[in-house]
């Protein structure tokens, strides 16, 4: 399997295929109609203006991160010790020292559970707030509902020349727009900002063209498109859905604002070191630069959490730098006065089994998929620091205190961003669709 694949063998090629499905799903008339409705509803009350989602694809273990069980039997407890947080009665796994030390700056949800124990279904449920409509396989790429990022793009976008929704280095399996259309799909930055001479492909005037030539070619294209659209307006020309996407691309190429946001070399060396000098660390730093430039939603796709084997060896290496990066992101936003209106989320599709196990043919232990318990970090956007919502039982088998659903989590995200989680969206065919079927936010986080 590749570095970013999981037990289902999901790779970048799959996500590229998935992206094609959303290109023809939306309509400009519908987008304008929803915009008019939003204006008529009056100003939104919101505590956050933008969101960074750290998507821990594969399903991170809650035992070895934010919900250790030191008093459980050895086959459940595992190899890692614990570290006290700002609240000395709450402990994290030993490799989460930096986040434990600043736990007063964010909230931890320990009581989300659902019934979708495979990657495809769990991914869809947690990134859309909608359970799959039909049973899906572990490796499935499914899109029955717009993702959180696409809804935020639809509702809050259009404030800058930058796309409304970014995903790095790929789109998650259910991170697409569904019926909202191509202009609310994520702009994928596959390039690695950790590499020397980092440069986002296709975000520059092509070699051999001056900016004047580039503008002239765009003008010619617009004239040709206009003639074709006049002839085909009544026929439902499928290419019309690409116009806004093309415009986003042109704005990226010609906007100094966009060029500056991508130029991570402008960051002081000390700041780049604080975020940690690896691909994940530098992508989180780039995410901060993008939200600082006005982008409302950025996903940092962080794969490789499907820990069926070599659990302690892999996480013993990975967690210290991951902990440093996420803690630095929260601290950096706070130091810049941005944390109050920037929501930071870190989660995956589910947690891991309480009992350690060994896969056939493997010599090291791991934990399998487990949707009955998981941990979710939420910082910023008016989220009260130091709060722990709910609890799992003493062996980590299940969320049992103040149990929450994926719908409650997604409703909280929307409410913080000023989006009514009870709002109806309309498909191009005019069919009403609830953003979230249960629009009840988590009260303790509001």
Q: What are the pLDDT digits (tens) for 140-161?
A: 677 889 999 999 999 998 888 8
* 271 vs 5, higher pLDDT: 271
400, 391 contact by CB (below 8 A)? yes
Quick one: pLDDT band at residue 282, thresholds 50, 70, 90? very high
Q: What are the pLDDT digits (tens) for 392-405?
A: 999 999 999 999 99
**3-state SS, residue 243:** helix
Q: What are the pLDDT digits (tens) for 221-252?
A: 444 455 444 444 443 444 555 555 556 666 66
Tell me the percentage of the chain whose pLDDT exceeds 90.
67
Out of 182-186, 334-338, 356-360, pick the least confident. Answer: 356-360
Task: Give the Å distances, CA to CA, from 412 to 47, 99, 298, 310, 405.
Answer: 11, 22, 17, 35, 11
Q: What are the pLDDT digits (tens) for 320-332?
A: 999 999 999 999 9
Tell me the percentage of the chain whose pLDDT exceeds 70.
77
127, 55 contact by CB (below 8 A)? yes
CA atoms within 13 A on the CB side of 155: 28
Mean pLDDT computed over 311-324: 97
d(CA 295, CA 286): 11
Which of these, 369, 372, 371, lies nearest to 399 by C-alpha position?
372
Quick one: pLDDT band at residue 422, thresholds 50, 70, 90? very high
Domains along the sequence of the chain with CATH: 12-206+256-445 (3.40.720)
Q: Report pLDDT for 316.
A: 97
Phi/psi at 112 (nearest 5 deg)?
-85, 135
Cβ neighbours of residue 261 closer than 8 Å, sequence gap 6 or more: 162, 289, 290, 292, 293, 295
Angle at 62 between CA 192 and CA 127, to 5 degrees: 55
136, 163 contact by CB (below 8 A)? no
């Amino acid at each position: 399997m590749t570095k970013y694949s999981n037990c289902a063998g999901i790779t970048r090629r799959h996500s590229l295929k998935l992206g094609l499905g959303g290109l023809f799903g939306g309509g400009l008339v519908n987008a304008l109609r929803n915009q008019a409705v939003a204006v008529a509803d009056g100003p939104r009350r919101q505590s956050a203006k933008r969101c960074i989602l750290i998507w821990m694809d594969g399903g991170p273990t809650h035992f070895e991160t934010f919900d250790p069980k030191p008093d459980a039997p050895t086959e459940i407890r595992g190899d890692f010790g614990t570290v006290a947080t700002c609240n000395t009665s709450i402990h994290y796994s030993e490799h989460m020292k930096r986040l434990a030390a600043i736990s007063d700056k964010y909230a931890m949800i320990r009581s989300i559970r659902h019934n979708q124990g495979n990657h495809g279904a769990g991914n869809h449920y947690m990134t859309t707030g909608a359970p799959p409509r039909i049973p899906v396989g572990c490796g499935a790429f499914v899109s029955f509902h717009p993702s959180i990022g696409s809804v935020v793009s639809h509702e809050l976008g259009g404030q800058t020349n930058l796309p409304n929704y970014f995903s790095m280095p790929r789109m998650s399996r259910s991170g697409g727009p569904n019926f909202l259309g191509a202009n609310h799909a994520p702009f994928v930055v596959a390039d690695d900002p950790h590499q020397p001479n980092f440069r986002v492909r296709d975000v520059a005037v092509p070699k051999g063209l001056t900016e004047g030539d580039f503008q002239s070619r765009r003008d010619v294209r617009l004239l040709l498109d206009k003639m074709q659209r006049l002839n085909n307006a009544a026929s439902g020309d499928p290419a019309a859905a690409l116009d806004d996407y093309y415009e986003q691309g042109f704005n990226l190429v010609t906007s100094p604002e966009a060029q500056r946001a991508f130029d991570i070399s402008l960051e002081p060396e000390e700041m780049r070191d604080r975020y940690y000098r690896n691909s994940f660390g530098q992508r989180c730093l780039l995410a901060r630069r993008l939200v600082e430039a006005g982008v409302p939603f950025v996903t940092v796709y962080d794969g490789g959490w499907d820990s069926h084997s070599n659990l302690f060896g892999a996480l013993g290496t990975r967690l210290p730098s991951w902990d440093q990066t996420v803690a630095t992101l929260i601290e950096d936003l706070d130091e810049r006065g941005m944390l109050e209106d920037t929501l930071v989320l870190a989660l995956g599709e589910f947690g891991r089994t309480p009992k350690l196990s060994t896969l056939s043919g493997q010599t090291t232990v791991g934990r399998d998929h487990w949707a009955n318990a998981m941990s979710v970090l939420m910082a910023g956007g008016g989220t009260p620091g130091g709060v722990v919502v709910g609890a799992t039982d003493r062996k980590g088998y299940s969320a049992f205190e103040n149990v929450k659903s994926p719908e409650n989590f997604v409703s909280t995200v929307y409410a913080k961003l000023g989006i009514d989680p009870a709002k109806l969206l309309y498909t191009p065919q005019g069919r009403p669709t609830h953003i979230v079927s249960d629009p009840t936010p988590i009260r303790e986080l509001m």
